[in-house]
Amino acid sequence: MLWITLGLLALIVLYVLFVPLILYIDTDERRAYLQIKGLAKASIEAHETELIRIRLDTLFTHFYFYPIRKIFESKEGEKTKAKDKKRNRSKKDTSDWMRYGKIGRRLLQSFQVRKFRVAIDTGDCIQNARLFPVAAFVDRYLFDFQVNYQDRNYLGVHLANRPVNILKAFINP
């Protein structure tokens, strides 16, 4: 019985390490979410009274969070206890920033870009005409980039990663 339990636990850990992590932002459809395939999905939604709310869908239920409300509650508490603290900067601080910058760069490089679309309109037809050759070059070689004359700006990003790649970015030098 112990071996079966340990085997199931190992399978769950492997599933969590290799399951895709998806970040999707689409301004045309007004959708943005972060999803761990099969486990959870956090979506940003509009709300009538609050500015935004986050809907967290887990295996069998869903929850709502209001992040703006939490930010303002924490700032009111900090104002009563606020004290000015000055910190001396040293060479150690700059080396920490450089190390964190390298980790951040490796973390960004671990993401795979599945879809990246941009449609832009400056509102000026001459400026749009100047952007047109750049857009044609970028559209051909890098990602979907369009210049339109319809007063419509659009961004669509679909990124994918796996938690094991995120761990590699932090662990490997």
> How many angstroms separate the Cα of 112 from the Cα of each of 73, 126, 158?
37, 35, 9
Whether residue 54 contacts residue 64, with contact meaning beta carbons closer than 8 Å, is answered with: yes
pLDDT in tens, 33-73: 999 988 899 999 888 888 889 999 998 899 998 888 877 77
Q: Quick one: how far is CA 160 from the chain centroid?
A: 10
Percent of the chain with pLDDT over 90: 31
pLDDT digits (tens, 9 = 90+) for 85-104: 555 555 555 667 777 888 88
Is this structure's pTM higher than 0.75? no
Q: What would the two tokens of residue 124 be? A: 């000026």
